[in-house]
A = this chain, B = another copy of it.
Amino acid sequence: MSEAVRKVRQALKRRSVVLSGFLACFCIFIPAHMEAEGPLVLQSDFGIEDASVAAMKGIAAKVSGSLNVHDLTHEIPQFNIWEAANRLKEAASFWPAGTVFVSVVDPGVGSGERSVVLKTRSGHYFVTPDNGTLTFVAEQLGIEELRQIDLSDNRVTGSSEFSTFHGRDLYAHVGANLASGHMFFQQVGRRLPPEIVELKHVKCNVSDGVAHGSIPVLDKRFGNVWTNIPLKLFGKLGIAAGEPVSVKISRRGTVIFEHTMVFSRSFSEVPVGDPLVFVNNLGEIALATNRGNFAETHGIEAGTEWSVEMSSAEE
């Protein structure tokens, strides 16, 4: 549009002051609405009982009143970077390119930890301390570019040198500026080598007809157990929907659960109370009991101590 506007402007210099005034209105007010604002999505371990999240959103509203601000979750258990990293991965790919995620879990600024913005190959942005929070989105969406937030430039004006609320004074501020287009990614700070702090985690693989994986998180509310084995990898086992799967779950090498379960397209394909293998929200293999709590019933938890093995149970 800028070319058209330029032409109009030049032409109208030769016209009446009336139309110039008219155009001025057009130029001043229209572009404000054309600005491409990406959504801003906030995650933290603050809970929703006090004013912390609202203070972050206030800072965002100061940057731009028309910004669409959303919550990923604020119920990350305190300091639990592992869960923060997994929740980001669970949500991010469903948002449009240009979405800016701010995740504030265990920032530890002042301890020498870096504050960064990651741009992924998918076009999403993540504003967060580089403390492991980026582990899974970096793996899933690819690192396009990593920049360190320049602390001297990017704080809320007037925020104290004593401020310990970096979620508000730094991360929300930078995130809102990026999402609203008030700041370019290049202005965040200097470019870093594309290497983030990674949480230790077992990657999945298939060998000799057996898929090996781990349990990143539980779907706590429903008691489902999620593995890190994607459907694509699971597909190498040649198990079709409706066929039986042999499932073994171990903790530190000791078998805790061993059973044959049906690979199902929906929960209702097995009787109420029966276990099933299904594809979860992320396109990864998961285990459940139809209308029951699989994790609780069988004493399964999430974390690096746990491993899963699956193979075809067809004879």
Q: For residue A17, which residue of chain B has the nearest CB?
A: B7
Please tell me if A50 contacts chain B, counting CB pairs below 8 Å.
yes
Which segment of A246-254, A263-271, A301-309 sits at the interface? A263-271
Q: Is the CB of A90 within 8 A of B55?
A: yes
Among A186-214, those with CB < 8 Å from B are none
Q: Is the CB of B281 within 8 A of A165?
A: yes
Which segment of A34-42, A114-122, A138-146, A147-155 sits at the interface? A34-42
Q: Is the CB of B231 within 8 A of A160?
A: yes
Q: Is the CB of A58 within 8 A of B111?
A: no
Q: Is the CB of A111 within 8 A of B18?
A: no
Q: Is the CB of B268 within 8 A of A47?
A: no
Binary per-residue interface labels of chain A (59-77) against chain B in the complex, 1 for a CB within 8 Å, 0 otherwise: 1011001101111111100
Please tell me if A273 contacts chain B, counting CB pairs below 8 Å.
no
Chain B residues with CB below 8 A from A55, complex form: 90-91, 94, 281
Q: Is the CB of B61 within 8 A of A278?
A: no
Chain A positions within 8 Å of B, measured between CB atoms, are 1, 4-5, 7-8, 11-12, 16-19, 21-26, 28-30, 32-34, 37-39, 41, 45-59, 61-62, 65-66, 68-75, 78-79, 87-88, 90-92, 94-96, 99, 108-111, 160-165, 168, 217, 219-222, 231, 241, 265-269, 278-281, 283, 291
